[in-house]
Amino acid sequence: MGTESIRERVRQQLAQAGLRVTPQRLLVMEILEEADEHLDAEAIYERARDRDPRVSLATVYRTLAKLKEVGLVEQRYFARDHKREYYETSHKEEHYHFTCLGCGKVIEVHTPRIAQAQEELSKALGLIFTHACICFEGFCPECAARRQEGPLRASPPTARGGFPRVVASPSVKG
């Protein structure tokens, strides 16, 4: 998708959410839309500074908070310690993340099982779910094979604060 069509879609999303279309909001949303990896606030800030040197890290955090508040951005965690927050646009279909402890690759996983569990728990316990935060950890097939050969070290995110994104949709029958 071209930059102009992304920009126009982002303008519409901001307007529909009742937000003014500011250069900072537009910039942060464009960065998230264009990203081919999962980004934390610092990585978003670095990319924003490449385009507009006047943008501050505080502005990025405030913008992310506002975009999250109105539902345009979702905050994700890829590890059980929740030390680092990653952001992505919320227009994607519901998915979860598997983080490889060997290479650091993050695989987006689509499965109907989580929705089925929510429905079952809702019926049984009268719960109303608004969100599910589930992060899976383990070893991708490549690292699992290498692990058989010897111990692996955990890999850090990429140099710009992101994790490579891989999308996987296993054929899981519900």
**CATH number, domain at 64?**
1.10.10.10
Q: Which domain holds residue 147?
A: 3-168
Strands 96-100 and 135-138 come out as parallel
Q: Do the Cβ atoms of 154 and 102 come closer than 8 Å?
A: yes
Structure token pair of residue 74: 């979702």
Residue 69 forms part of a structural domain: yes
**Percentage of the chain surpassing pLDDT 90?**
34
Q: Does 49 have pLDDT greater than 60?
A: yes
Over residues 146-171, the mean pLDDT reads 56
Residue 110 forms part of a structural domain: yes
Q: For the chain, what is the mean pLDDT?
A: 82
Residue 174 forms part of a structural domain: no
Residue 68 forms part of a structural domain: yes
Residue 145 forms part of a structural domain: yes
Query: Based on the structure, what is the number of domains in the chain?
Result: 1
Q: Do the Cβ atoms of 140 and 102 come closer than 8 Å?
A: yes
Note the pLDDT of residue 174. 43
Residues 6 or more apart whose CB falls under 8 angstroms from that of 66 comprise 19, 25
pLDDT category at 45 given cuts 50, 70, 90 is very high
Residue 122 forms part of a structural domain: yes
pLDDT category at 42 given cuts 50, 70, 90 is very high
Q: How many CA atoms lie within 13 A of 9 on its CB side?
A: 14
Task: Convert 114-151 to b/e letters by CB count within 10 Å (16 or more is b).
Answer: beeeeeeeeeeeeeeeeeeeeeeeebbeebeeeeeeee
Note the pLDDT of residue 173. 43
**Residue, of 129 and 169, whose pLDDT is higher:** 129
Give the amino acid at 87. Y
- Whole-model pTM over 0.85: no
Helix, strand, coil in percent for the chain, rounding step 5? 40, 20, 40
